[in-house]
Structures are given as C-alpha cells and as structure tokens.
Structure 1
Amino acid sequence: MFKGLIAKIKAVMQKMGLIKSIKSVTDIVDIPVTDDFYQYIENVWLPLYQGYLQVYDGKPFHEVKFTTIGGGEQKRRMKSLRLPKTASEEMAKLIFNEKCKINISGEGTAEDIHNVLNDNNFYKMFQDHLEYMFALGGMIMKVYPEKDRTGAWKVKIAFVTADCFIPISYSNGRIDEGLFLSRFKRGNKWYTLLEWNKWDEDDRALFVVRNQLFQSNDENEIGIPIALETLSEYKELEPETYFEKLTRPLFVYTKPNIANNIDLQSPLGISLFANAIDDLHVLDTMYDSFHREFKLGKKRIIVPSTAINYVVDTKTGEQHRYFDVNDEAYEAMSFNDLEGQKIVDTSVELRVDEHAKALQTQLDIVAMKIGFSPGTFTFDGKGVKTATEVVSEDSKTYKSKNSHETIIEESLKELIQTIYEVADTYGIFKKPEKIEVTVDFDDSIVEDRDSDSNYWLKLQNNGNIPKWMALQNILKIPEEEAKKIVEMVREEQANEMPDIDTQFGGGA
C-alpha cells in the first residue's frame, strides 16, 4: 500500500480525535497490528502467490546472480513451480465450490437471502476470495445498502483482501471495528479512501461508517483530506452513516484456521504457506536446476577453430565452410598441438530422473507443511499436478479441510446475520425472530455418502436418534426442514405404503 502504513493511519486517527491522551505516534497501541506484519502480506505472501519474490529475509529469492567466463556479473529470474498459487487454489476448491449450499430455515426468508447472494454473484466471488484468503492470510466480506437504478434499496456484498484492511479493536479473536483502504492514482495524484467502521463512542448501540478521501503528490504519503465529491465515483458517498439496529459489525473477517505464530497478539490470520517459505525456495531452486539441466547439458561438439574458417575451392574459387557457424551445437577452440586438432563430442548424460525424484520429495515436504497429504501434488516433468482421487478421512488433507471449514462456516453464518440486519434497517425485507443456518460443504471427494448414510440410518434404526435427525445429517439440512420432510413422507405414504416408522425402524 505505502511505507509506514500503520504509523500513518495512527497519525490520521490522532488528528480525528479517535485516539486521546497520547505522547507520540509510536505510543499509540489502539491498533492491534504493526507495520512489520503487513510487510509479510505485501512483500512476501503476495509476491509468492503471484509467482515471483525478489528478496526474502535480506537475501535473493527468485533472483539469481551469476558470473560469465568474461568476468561480468549478470542476473536472471529463477524458474518457479508457483506452488503457492496452486495450493491456495486447491484448498479453496476443496472447501467451497459450486456443489456447496447454504441452507436457511424458513421458505420466505431463505428466498430473500438467496436472492441477495445470487444478485451479488456470491458463490463465484466467495471461492475466488477464499483463494486470496489462503494466500494472504485473511479476507473481509462487507455488507452495505445501495440504491439501484429505480431508487430501491438493495443489499450489496463487497469482498476485500487482507492488505486493504486494518483491525481497530477486537475481543476473543473477533474483530469488532476496522478500517478499509482504497489506494489508486489519477493523473499525477495519489488518492486514498479511508472507510472507518466503528461503534459510536458515546452510544454503543450505534454503528458508524465514516468516509475520508485524501490526496497526495507522493505515493508513500496519505496526503491532505479533500471533499468526497472531488471524485465522481464518490459523489453519492455519505461522509457519515449511522446504523441503529445492528448487533454486529457490517463486515465479517475470515482467516485460515492456522495459529498466527508471527504476531501472537494479533487477531489477523497468516498465509497457508507462511511457515514454508524456506521449503518453497528449495523447491523452486530444484525446479530451476531441472530446467538448467537441459540448457547447460545440451549437445555440444568441439571442433578446431581452423575447421570453421573459409576454404577456397581451387577449381571454382568459391569459399566454403566445413561446419555451419550458426549451428549452436558446435564450439570452436584453438589447439596448438596436432593431437588436439580433432572433433570431440562433449555431450553429457542428463540427470532427469534424479531431478524428478528430488522435486517429488520436496513437493511432499511442502505439502505437509501447508496442510496437504504427501502425494497431493505430483511433478510430471512439465509442472505440478494435483491428485483427484478420494481423500481418506484419516489423511492430513481431510483434517485440514475440516479445520478450515469450521471457521468458514461460522463466517458465513455471521454474513447471513449481517445481511438480515441491513435489509431490516432499510426495509428491504424483515429479519425473522429466529433463523437456523447450515452450510452443506462438498464432501464428495472426502467421504463415501452411502457409508455416511448407512451410519446415520443405523443409529436411527437402533432407536438412538429420531428419524428427522438422521435425515438432517444425511441431507445436511436444517432441523426444521428435516422435520417437514419426515411429515410430508408420512402423509404421502399413509394410505399407499407402510408407515414411515417401519421404514426408519421405529418411532421418533
């Protein structure tokens, strides 16, 4: 974003009166994060995800320096397998894809929510930003009201990456207040939009969204505050908006279910590959060596320099060469002795198998460090492929998937709650008194649905659980919906089929 991000934001907070009784900017402790942590996001995790990290821990990472025979130092870019991108994408697809479903109790309320989700292209956007979350350590879903072309209010959902969000306050790991940043350039000016999401200090029942626009001539400075209407896209943006009916913030912060061992006091999450940076460097070094093996080990034939000189045909007077000087297989050398005046093939044996085995070993090490089972990623001689077979329930991949799903499901429930509260505030649709939200993740690759169904039916048939509970777990639907299905089946089969009790092996 810009250098000294946190210090600059704290200075702005001081001027706004959001921080009181302080001695200096460095004494401000209200923001529970540091510039150092954001350096990991901007300068390490994001470059790795994009495929090229120039420097890490003060040393070259994907930049290689070498000296030629002429003594000159040169630089080149190391080849990369780009595993951070592959791993983040794979984990996101394992957890959330087009087969996933968000279930909400109540037909009317469910339709309202699904209309909002569909209107915001939620399922596609969520999967994309879930990938960014695993790469950068977090993401934010922001809910806000917006008028459409007819003037009617609609609920909108915006997705924000981890590098554009700063937590202001939190409790028990849950972020209650935050700051969103938008940074862009127009002409020779830099603009920064700060959106503060805070509970009112005088009335904690009010949630306040404050917008400030800054202009600067320097990329690394926030600059001076200017009117929002200065830029056409912000003409309709209110400087302050108050929300009275909220029980939670307008945003939901989500992170991978990995403990933050970089800053133990921070509420922010860390990247999926935060603890495998050195291993990724070894992996890309091996992959680069694999490519160099073919370049440096290409066929070379040494011939005497006299052999590439012109030879004059005595009969025609035309000049000829014995060897094509444009053929890179030949290397000309001068020899003083007659013994050296001969053609030598210096081709070497390529170490393809050795490189492939080493790469696979390192892939398994990296996979284990980032939450996948060994063998998840394979090297086929061209690049990385991902295993598509069913994942066993005792595998590391399965356990990691379930672990991340715990936090993600809770975040989706909070999102639905926020949508209801915003919709109710602006009269879009009413918030029901009681709702039940469940998320049906796609477990087709990690479980046998028939075996899972048999497990719950066996419990029901033995009288250990009611029939609706068996259906709830088999179909992964809310309790209310499961009970309705049981009742519908009972009514339908009352006269034509045996009672549903006998189908499920007993009473409720």
Structure 2
Amino acid sequence: MFRKIKGFFKGVLQRMGLVKNIKNMSELKQIPDNDEFYKLIDKWKAIYQGFFSEWHDVMYTTINGSQKRKMATLGMAKVVSQEMASLIFNERCEINISDEGLKKNIDNILEENKFVKRFQDYLEFQFALGGMVIKPYFGDGRIKLSYVTADCFIPISWDNQGIREAVFPNEIRKGKKKYTHLEWHLWEGEEYVIKNELFVTEHGSDLGKQIPLSTLFPDLEEEVRIKAFKRSNFVYFKPNIANNIDMHSPLGIPLYANALDTLKTIDIAFDSFQREFRLGKRRIIVPATAVKTVFDENGVPHRYFDADDEIYQAMGSGNMDELKIHDSTVELRVEEHIAAINALLNLLASQTGFSSGAFSFDGQSVKTATEVVSENSKTFKSKQSHENVIEAGLTELIEVIVQTAELYELFNRPDEGWEVTVTFDDSIAEDQTAEINKQVQLVSNKLTSRKKAIMKIHGLSANEAEQLMKEISEEGQTATAEAIDFFGMSRVDV
C-alpha cells in the first residue's frame, strides 16, 4: 500500500500547501522516506494469516523434475497474538469514569459500537501487525468508532506526545476498477483539518487519477476544518515493545517481530512431522530403467511407476543387484518431532513475552496453559506491561469521543475534570481471595491505606474508593444504632 502512495505524496502535499518545492522524499523527514517498514508489515500480516510465500512455497525434486507444494504451518503467529489479546481484554474488563454522567454517556456509545468484541479482535491485530487505530466519527445521529489496522495507517508527523498527523488509505474494488480513498488528518495552525480524496485506476501499480469524491461517497465532505479540537481525533495503539527495527519511528512492532526465525523453524518441524506419516512408512527403490518412458507399437508412452510420486527412487547402472526392487521401511520419528516442536515452542514463548511452557504440542494440536499464573511469571509481567499502554490509549479514546460529542452537541464535557481507570480481568493471572487477604494484612500492619486497598481489590478510582469507604462507614453507624433497644439503652446481658 505504501509503495503505491509514496510516489504521489509529493504532488498531493504540494497541492495541499503543506510542502513546497520538495526535491525528493527524504527532505520531508516526518514521512518515511522508504517503504521498508511497510514491507515488513505486509510480511507480518502474511505470516499472521498463515501463508508467507517465501516460507511456505516449498520446491522439491521428483523423478519427473521440480515440483512445488505448500508447507504445513502451526499458525503460531495467530496463537501468540490471540492469547495475549485474550489475557488482557475481555468482557470482564471494566472502564471506570469518576463522573457518573460522563460514564453513562460513554458506556452507551461503547455498547452501541459493540466495543468489547471489536476491541478484542483489533487488539489481536495490534499484537500481530504492530499497531492499530481507533477513530471516532459522527454518523446517523450518533458517534461511531472506526477501526484501522497497521497496514492502512501512515503517520505524517509526531512528537513526544504521540502521532499528530496521519493519512488513512483505503482501497475499494469494483469490477476492474480500483478506487483509493485517502483521508488526511492534519493540523494547520490551531485548526484541525480532515481532507478526503478519491482516486481510480484499472492498474494495480498506482493511484491513478483523482475523481470527484461524490462518485463513491456522495455525503462525504472534501474538507472539514475544526477549531474546537485540542488533540488529533484518532488514537494509535501499539504493543509495549521497543521498536528495534526503526528506532526513530513512532510505529510499533508485533509480539513476534524478533522471533521470525523461530516461527519459520516451527513450521519446518511441523511440516516434517506431518510428512513423516506420508513419506516415512515406505521407500521403494526401483531400477532406473524401470522409470523410463516406453512406447508401445501404437506410439503410446507407458511407465511402470508413477514418476511424480516421491516414494520412488531410481537407482542402478545395470548390475544385477541394482535391477531388483527394494522395499525399504523406516521407523516413524513421532516422539522426536514432538520433542523438537515443544522445544521450539518454549523458545518462541520466551521471545514473545510468555513463560516457558505457555504453549505445548501433543501431536494433534497446540495447547495453551490455563492454570493460574503467578505474579512473578513472565506472562503476568508482560500482560501488565501491555495493559499500562492500553489503559493510556483507552483514556485518550474517551477524550477524543468527548471532543467529538461536544462538536456535534451530543453531550457536554463535565465542568470538573474526570479520572479514568481500567480494571483488567486478572482472574486467570491471580487468586482473588489471596489478593484480598494480602491487602487486609497490609492494612493491618499499616503498610498501606484502606483507600489504596479498596482501589486494588475492587479496581476503583480514588473518588470511587472514597465513596465506598463513606458507604461502609455509614453502614457501620447504622449497625451500631440497631444494637440499642427502644429504651435508648445498650443491650446488657443480666
């Protein structure tokens, strides 16, 4: 995608008045001057989807010449991405907002957009491709959430606060024509500018010519200028992993970016395990003369053996012993293959942030560990590390939803500030009873406050914890009053 767009950046940006007299792409440092990183995203996407031609197209030779087949795959890129996403976010995750009115409005928007299901899916895509974007927008009288994968997002400018400007390319195919919609999110002074352009081509190698936006989007405006926005109206999520491929890029990398060799070796081992049952049972050695084509009296070619079958091996130079047909059988190496695959799975686990033993292969399928994970385990630490970044992203998402709602006068920003806390589901990672007992001991030994303990146990914000403490105190006073009889005297046993 980026390769197709890069050649058009110069003309488009000049036409928008953002860049003048650009001689080459490298002069605009905010825009990637090459597409190498986007080639990697395409590679990661192919591996995640289960077929990467350079790995999985296998050439081999038979008696009849070169052949090609598709290598079997365990699909571990999908497994590790899905497992981390499900550990972090599910329907038990709660987004708490200190302002009750705002919380109600946000909950309604998230529910209307089926946020829990869609966010978990795109969280998996984030771990698989290195990032994803959520864009709130107004449509049909309500706020909708648009989700964008890493291959359809190109940052233009960024600072230490995050990505400020970006372009979102989207391809639409109708018959032989390919339409490309470019949605630009830009800052021009204090104005936030959203520009839309549409291009069409019958050739897949370029954007083609620009056509009226109304061709496909009759209700979409070509340019929208907004003065009310204080921040970019999209949120970029990425795994909490340092980008060691391009240390100057704001883009993230997937969980398995540094484990590609391991993923490839796992597929090689699994492919060998699968083929062991096909090729390991029998090997037939036949004389070379027996596989030659023989023509009958009618000129029809015949062979005694199938030359395309890998099971036959032609040998012999004419000696009597070599003219015999040998049936060679070998012992299947099932346990050796399973042990090798499990060793590789342990290596992959350590490279992707999981504890050793998180994945195992029993000869039929890959299994993931489901037992309670201790707080000192690598899986739990990785989970918490990613949760910190995701919580910050969800806080930003609420902010951009609020500014979009204000723009279209759906509801107003609370007069006072609000606090957002995200309570992730730690039921798989910790024993809740043990956590409660630990907090009680800490309070008893004066090593933490009741407020902090309540926040930890219930996953509440500071304000919510104070409200709960107040309710508990009021209930305690009510219980004391009930212990006094109607004469106004405390009950005394005589």
Tell me, yes or no, whether TM beats 0.5.
Answer: yes
Partner in structure 1 of residue 46 of structure 2: 47
Q: Residue type of the partner of 1:477? A: L
Partner in structure 2 of residue 420 of structure 1: 402
**CA deviations over 1:263-290 (Å, ceiling 9, x no partner):** 1110000111111111111111111111
1:69 equivalenced with 2:63 (yes/no): yes
TM superposition shift of 1:491: 1.8
Partner in structure 1 of residue 165 of structure 2: 177
Stretch of structure 1 that moved more, 122-131 or 377-386 = 377-386
Give identity over the alignment, percent: 47
Mapping of residues 15-414 of structure 1, within 5 Å: 15-32=15-32, 34-42=34-42, 44-55=43-54, 61-70=55-64, 72-146=65-139, 148=140, 153-172=141-160, 174-201=162-189, 204=190, 206-231=191-216, 234-299=217-282, 346-414=328-396
TM superposition shift of 1:217: 2.4
Q: Could you say what secondary structure the match of 2:393 adopts? A: helix
Partner in structure 2 of residue 451 of structure 1: 434
**CA deviations over 1:121-143 (Å, ceiling 9, x no partner):** 11110000000001100000101
**CA deviations over 1:296-342 (Å, ceiling 9, x no partner):** 112468899xxxxxxxxxxxxxxxxxxxx9xx9x9899999999999
Q: Could you say what secondary structure the match of 1:494 adopts? A: helix
Q: Distance in 2 between matches of 1:333 and 1:219?
A: 46
Q: Could you say what secondary structure the match of 1:170 adopts? A: strand
User: 1:173, 1:267 within 8 Å by CA — same for their partners in 2?
Assistant: no
TM superposition shift of 1:410: 0.2
CA shift in 2, pair 1:33/1:443, >3 Å:
farther
Q: Distance in 1 between matches of 2:83 and 2:276?
A: 30
Partner in structure 1 of residue 298 of structure 2: none
**CA deviations over 1:380-427 (Å, ceiling 9, x no partner):** 102211111111222211111111111111000000111111111211
TM-score by length of 1: 0.85
Q: Could you say what secondary structure the match of 2:3 adopts? A: coil
CA shift in 2, pair 1:7/1:456, >3 Å:
farther
**CA deviations over 1:174-209 (Å, ceiling 9, x no partner):** 1011111111211222111111111123xx2x2111
User: 1:2, 1:219 within 8 Å by CA — same for their partners in 2?
Assistant: no
Q: Could you say what secondary structure the match of 2:243 adopts? A: coil
User: 1:256, 1:404 within 8 Å by CA — same for their partners in 2?
Assistant: yes
TM superposition shift of 1:16: 2.4
Q: Distance in 2 between matches of 1:331 and 1:419?
A: 66
Q: Distance in 2 between matches of 1:33 and 1:252?
A: 24
Q: Distance in 1 between matches of 2:198 and 2:90?
A: 37
Across the two proteins, how many residue pairs are aligned to each other?
A: 461
Q: Distance in 2 between matches of 1:394 and 1:461?
A: 24
User: 1:143, 1:419 within 8 Å by CA — same for their partners in 2?
Assistant: yes
Q: Could you say what secondary structure the match of 1:472 adopts? A: helix
TM superposition shift of 1:478: 1.2
Partner in structure 1 of residue 299 of structure 2: none
TM superposition shift of 1:462: 3.5
Q: Distance in 2 between matches of 1:333 and 1:19?
A: 68
Task: Compute the RMSD of aligned alpha carbons.
Answer: 2.7
CA shift in 2, pair 1:444/1:378, >3 Å:
same
Q: Distance in 2 between matches of 1:158 and 1:332?
A: 58
Q: Distance in 1 between matches of 2:75 and 2:443?
A: 48
TM superposition shift of 1:343: 9.0
Q: Could you say what secondary structure the match of 1:175 adopts? A: strand
**CA deviations over 1:153-183 (Å, ceiling 9, x no partner):** 3111111000001111111161011111111
CA shift in 2, pair 1:85/1:33, >3 Å:
farther
5+ residue gaps in structure 2? 288-305, 483-494
Q: Could you say what secondary structure the match of 1:438 adopts? A: strand
CA shift in 2, pair 1:483/1:491, >3 Å:
same
Stretch of structure 1 that moved more, 132-141 or 23-32 = 23-32
User: 1:4, 1:35 within 8 Å by CA — same for their partners in 2?
Assistant: no
CA shift in 2, pair 1:332/1:192, >3 Å:
closer
CA shift in 2, pair 1:192/1:339, >3 Å:
closer
Q: Distance in 2 between matches of 1:394 and 1:464?
A: 21
Q: Could you say what secondary structure the match of 1:169 adopts? A: strand
TM superposition shift of 1:38: 0.4
TM superposition shift of 1:21: 3.7
TM-score by length of 2: 0.87
Q: Could you say what secondary structure the match of 1:3 adopts? A: helix
TM superposition shift of 1:4: 4.3
Stretch of structure 1 that moved more, 188-197 or 12-21 = 12-21
User: 2:10, 2:22 within 8 Å by CA — same for their partners in 1?
Assistant: no
TM superposition shift of 1:69: 2.2
